[in-house]
Amino acid sequence: MSTWLRLLKLTFWMWPLQRVVTVLGLGVLMFPGATLLAGTSYGYDMLAFGSLAAFGMPALFGGAFWRALSAARTVQLAPAGRLRLLLAAAGVAVTIALVWIAWQWLFDLGVAPRFRLDLVGYRGLFVGVIATATWWGLASFIASRSPLAMLLVLILTFSSAWLWDRYATGVLPQLWRQPWSIALPLTLWATFGTWYLRDRRIRSPGWLLPGSQSVIATVAMAETDSSGLSRRVALERLLLGGTSVLRMLAQWLLVGGLLLAILLLLARQGEQESRSVAHISFAALILCPVIVAALAAGVIRRARALWLPSGLSRTELLAHTEAVLLKLTAGLWLLFGAFLLVLWYTQPWRPGLTLIEALLALLLPSVLLVTHSLTRPHGWDYYWSWPIVLLLCLFNCWQLLITWDPQAWFDAGATSYLLSSIVTLSDPLIGVEPHPWVWAVLAGVATIGFHVLARRRWLAEDLPRVPAQAAS
């Protein structure tokens, strides 16, 4: 019981940001919001936002936390340590299903106060949520092993989703209603648990170098021969965790290029598939600023250790670190810009902006987050620049949400409906939609402000030390 409670706290309550999104998702949007507005379109909107806020981070990072705990030496030496962790992880999936059942009961009660309890339907919902939580948890656990493992998980996810959509549409809801359907997620847990308990040593998350000194590690691409390097190049290699900008770009070219090729092949299946792939692909390019921010956190952590050995002054070290980050940002922007051009000239649907505006929508948030990371953010200071980036990328620059009919999006699937719901709720908040160049100017002003603040902190305070929670 104690292991389950601790893992539940790790999943939903460890970081300050996790607490906010958990309270916002479960305590504001899903339960009071969705249930009080049950029977209206806003009730489903509240559900979409609440589930995204409450379960988004556990779905993406819960498996990585689980792997990090499993790799600890104390867990490996503790009696039945792995078995307790495995049972606790399965218990978290069951807890999520119970929470969803409670929401569904309150929602049905709000729609029809005298509704008749459909035990078969509730059982199907319970099994379906457990199966979904199981898949996301195990997939996140496997993907956290290395970039290659993440790529394999993505390929399997896209392939299985395409196969279900093409050959078995509507099968899953009926499948979960069968009395024996609970055996499917249990079989998955049993298969994974057999390996999990028998493996001699669970590896720590492969995206981190020893000592958690790197985010999105490039261990396989690291440079082993450092002879003949100039002092400046050697310092750059140390800041990047033993690799170079070109090698990091080669890794992301391999991962992104292979994933893009798979999506383009799926787009050739038909017009509807082509539109869906274009929609997903253009939206996924917004990950460029996220990747840049994660890499910047690792670089700045290493900058402190290089201060005295490098012989650089504070001003020189800031300039050198900033130059390395800007060089890396420019390289990733060119790489993702190339992906953008491929999509732009091959897909029938494009975002509602010009090509130059789309390229700026990739560049400006990346530069903004890099400059913000140089200010040595602490606590909530680490998170407050992200709303600017979301506004820049999502609400105005990409305009992904206003070019299709929401009803058509709803017919296309839950993800599309979730995105259309963002527009429905944001219309009264935004009012008159600003031009994308307005947000570009605001991003430029914020970047200059962060640069001035970073220079003052590097000169007047202790050298930047990114907190462990920000880098991981």
Provide the pLDDT confidence category of residue 333 given band limits of 50, 70 and 90.
very high
Tell me the per-residue pLDDT of 70-89, one tens digit each, with 9 for 90 and over. 888 777 777 788 999 999 99
Distance CA 202, CA 116 (A): 48
Q: Residue 241 carries which side chain, given as an amino acid letter?
A: G
Q: Is the dihedral of CA 414, 415, 420, 426 positive or negative?
A: positive
The pLDDT of residue 384: 63
Residues across the chain: 472
What residue has token string 């992880």? 89
The pLDDT of residue 94: 93
Comparison of pLDDT for 307 and 14, the residue scoring more:
14
Q: Residue 316 carries which side chain, given as an amino acid letter?
A: E
Tell me the per-residue pLDDT of 249-298, one tens digit each, with 9 for 90 and over. 887 888 788 778 877 877 777 776 677 677 667 767 777 887 888 788 77
| pLDDT at 436 exceeding the cut of 80 | no
pTM (two decimals)? 0.62
Provide the pLDDT confidence category of residue 221 given band limits of 50, 70 and 90.
very low
Cβ contact 120:177 at 8 Å: yes
Collapsing DSSP states into helix, strand and coil, what is residue 168?
Answer: coil
The pLDDT of residue 141: 92
| pLDDT at 416 exceeding the cut of 70 | no
What DSSP string describes 224-256? ---TT--HHHHHHHHHTTS--HHHHHHHHHHHH
User: Taking Cα atoms as reference points, which of 203, 204, 186 lies closest to residue 87?
Assistant: 186
The pLDDT of residue 420: 45
Distance CA 116, CA 380 (A): 46
For the residues 163-172, what does the mean pLDDT come to? 68
The pLDDT of residue 28: 83
Residue burial 163-200, b: 16+ Cβ < 10 Å; e: rest: eeeeeeeeeeeebbbeeebeebbbeebeebbeebeeee
Distance CA 121, CA 107 (A): 14
Q: Percentage of the chain with pLDDT > 90?
A: 12
| pLDDT at 207 exceeding the cut of 70 | no
Q: Which residues contact 449 (CB under 8 A, 6 or more apart)?
A: none
- For residue 255, the Cα-to-chain-centroid distance in whole angstroms is 16
What residue has token string 């069951």? 94
| pLDDT at 192 exceeding the cut of 90 | yes
The pLDDT of residue 186: 93
The pLDDT of residue 410: 39
162-176, 242-256, 396-410: least confident range: 396-410
Tell me the pLDDT of the chain averaged across its residues. 75
387 burial level (CB within 10 Å; 0-12, 13-18, 19+): exposed
Comparison of pLDDT for 81 and 119, the residue scoring more:
81
106-120, 224-238, 405-419, 456-470: least confident range: 405-419
The pLDDT of residue 113: 63
For the residues 162-186, what does the mean pLDDT come to? 78
C-alpha separations of 296 from 11, 82, 215, 312 in Å: 25, 34, 9, 20
The pLDDT of residue 90: 94
For the residues 295-306, what does the mean pLDDT come to? 79
Collapsing DSSP states into helix, strand and coil, what is residue 326?
Answer: helix
